Amino acid sequence: MQPFFNFNGFPCSVKLRMYKCATQGTVIKEQMPGSKLPLFFYTIFGARQYFFNVAAVASHTCTFQISIRQKNTFGQINAFKTPTLKFIFLTHQFMKLKSYFAICIAVVLFASCSKGGGNSTPVTPPVIPPSFGFNSLKVNGIYDGYTYYNINTSPVIKFSFSTTIDHSSVSNSVSLKDNAGAVVSYTATFENGDSTIVIQPVSALGFITQYIVAVSTALKSQQQGSLRSGVTVNLTTQIDSTDKFPVISDSALLDLVQRQTFKYFWDFGHPVSGMARERNTSGDIVTTGGTGFGIMGMIVAANRNFISRTDAIARIQKIVNFLKNNCTSYHGAFAHWINGSTGATVPFSTNDNGGDLVETSYLMQGLLCARQYFNAGNAGETTLRNDINTLWNAVEWNWYRQGDQNVLYWHWSTDKGWAMNVPIKGWNEALITYALAASSDNYAVPKIVYDNGWANNGNMKNGNLYYGITLPLGPGFGGPLFFAHYSFLGINPHDLTDAYANYWSQGTAHARINYLYCINNPKKFNGYSTANWGLTASDDDARGYDAHSPTNDDGVISPTAAVSSLPYTPAESMDALKFFYYKLGDKIWGQYGFKDAFNLTNTWFTDSYLAIDQGPEIVMIENYRSGLLWNLFMSCPEVKTGMKALGFQSPNL
């Protein structure tokens, strides 16, 4: 029954019932008012008129009764009914007139008549105290909506209302909880003549934690009126600014990050194959590209004496033997995922169950660096070099042109063929694929494949300004930062040019644009700063995994983005590395270095490590420090020949 007016301060509703006979036997019609009643109904019931249309009722004797129901704020129902009234309707027109008459008599009799002719006493409902409203909010003296970040751990939250508040109702109507639902004790005091409640936690809140302060409609005024609408405030506390570890020199810190991150590939490498697991929860699944990054990390570890040269050779030889003897290759290319115990291909997706040319490129980049590094004449190093050459020379790069097209294709499998049908076009992470494809002694591709396919006849150029910086290549704002890392673990971008770009300018522009986007923070995510930046592909609290960039930003920072950009943005990257270690180290520093990602807006910190994110950190830190991997890769005779054939120029070629 819908409310239509207030009577004596209570919301009321009206309904007309018609019975088929005078004994109120069968209900033949029950309806709410559809229009207006006569004026005296309007006068009595507070500026409301209603009309019950009974014209559609057939001609017969009927009994009418009006019901009026009231519900007060205590949930009590007060019901009032008129006496029953009998009429005989002969025509539709006359029925309509009689319906007016019936209602008029019902209203007149309402206060003095009862069924059977007796008197009835009206029920007088209690007076309901007026409700009240919420006026204003301040958190630490500031109003900024209903969501607050970077709040101190002893905040003062003030709720102001339109009337004085009953102190005894606060404990049952105001709550403070953390994001797990745990209740937090608070004190409540009053200001402004008891119309403002001041809430403050009894003990300091936790750092980088979300809290909810809620005021419900159970809050009462001193007149016992109720709050009309509840209020909810979201708080996220600040980062603990104290250092989590003793401060050490920058050089010692870089040593530590490289050593700790290397453990992912060394301690957590697959026990059978020696290859890198896809992630720390992958079990037997190993990754081809991540293994290439891990091999480069082993070279760094041997060079810095984290492990012995002999141990490094043994592990890399184990990997090479497994690839040669246990794994299926697809015209020389290996699958993205492999079972580390058996060597069987593990499909990356339904149609991606064969060779992955880009992943194979990352593997070969690492193997060629190992071949150049382990250059002694002893039997162990000679065997390793020969076995690496066997794998390297077996990759049929030109097969992946899919019928001599002037572009390389990403995938091919025995049963699915070219079903994936993904051409490798720039600008993205795959420059290394074309550099190696041009460098093969047996299966090289010509320059036209690079120009038409990778460079898309020059359409991979950008040339626009972002934050005052010209970006030579790629999508708007540069895309995820791994574009500037994966191919340049081996390819030295310093003074490297071709018809399309200066690649040092490309890498530095990309990294600085990413940095400047984060400090400008157009989406206002919590925690972005000069020390907390870096958007690239990583795990994601909302999407599982995503390629983060300025055009795909949801508040997730990936440590590998800034750390692996150290050669391009040394000061900015070092600031980020120190922040990640000293300030967030209790959250994101662990067994294998920096964890994969975090989101300070959502106070989310992953526990995951990924091979393709850990590897670039070790290698790019080393390239910043010594240029070791750049020097090794660019020293390969076939790479010099191949890159020159594509039109590259560099003092390193």
The mean per-residue pLDDT over the stretch 222-227 comes to 96
Q: Is the pLDDT of residue 29 over 70?
A: no
Query: Which regions of the chain carry the CATH code 2.60.40.1220?
Result: 134-237
Q: Is 79 left (phi over 0), alpha (psi -120 to 50) or beta?
A: beta
Is residue 617 scored above 50 in pLDDT?
Answer: yes
> The pTM is what?
0.81
Question: In the structure, what pLDDT confidence band is assigned to residue 121 with cuts at 50, 70 and 90?
Answer: low
Confidence at 531, pLDDT banded by 50, 70, 90: very high
Top CATH class, 134-237: mainly beta
pLDDT surpassing 60 at residue 191: yes
Are the C-beta atoms of 153 and 211 separated by less than 8 Å?
no
Residues of the chain with CATH 1.50.10.140: 250-645
Q: Which helix (H) or strand (E) holds 294?
A: helix 288-303
**Across residues 60-69, what is the average pLDDT?**
46
Query: If you write DSSP's letter for every residue of 180-224 in order, what string do you get?
Result: T--B--EEEEEETTTTEEEEEESSPPPTT-EEEEEE-TT-BBTT-
Share of the chain above pLDDT 70, in %: 81
Alpha-carbon distance 84 to 64, whole Å?
5
d(CA 193, CA 22): 61
pLDDT range class, residue 618, cuts 50, 70, 90: very high
Contact 28, 20 (CB under 8 A): yes
**pLDDT the model gives residue 129:** 93
Residue indicated by tokens 């020379």: 393
What does the CA dihedral 152, 153, 156, 159 come to, rounded to 10 degrees? Answer: 100
| pLDDT on residue 20 | 42
Under the banding of pLDDT at 50, 70 and 90, the label for residue 75 is: very low
Is the pLDDT at 526 greater than 90? The verdict is yes
Lowest mean pLDDT among 68-72, 298-302, 552-556: 68-72
Token pair 């809620």 in the structure block, residue: 214
Which pLDDT score is estimated for 204?
Answer: 97
Provide the pairing of β-strand 333-334 with 329-330: antiparallel
Mean pLDDT of 450-466: 98
Question: Counting Cβ atoms within 10 Å, is residue 125 exposed (0-12), middle (13-18) or buried (19+)?
Answer: middle
Amino acid present at 372? Q
Which residue in 476, 481, 450 sits closest to 463, CA to CA?
476
**Structure confidence at residue 25 (pLDDT):** 44
pLDDT category, 120, cuts 50, 70, 90?
low
Place of tokens 């041997």: 302
Q: Indicate the pLDDT class of residue 35, thresholds 50, 70 and 90.
A: very low
Protein fold of 250-645: Glycosyltransferase (1.50.10)
Model confidence pLDDT, tens digit, residues 543-580? 999 999 999 999 999 999 999 999 999 999 999 999 99
150-160: per-residue pLDDT in tens? Answer: 999 999 999 99
The full DSSP string for 70-129 is EE-TTS-EEEEEPPPEEEE--SHHHHHHHHHHHHHHHHHHTTT--GGG---PPP-PPPPP
Q: Which residues of 206-237 are buried (b: 16+ CB within 10 A; e: fewer)?
A: ebbbbbebebbeebbbbeebbbeeebebbbbb
**For residues 254-270, average pLDDT:** 98
Q: Can you give the pLDDT at residue 126? A: 75
Has residue 111 got a pLDDT over 50? no
The pLDDT of residue 63 is above 80 = no
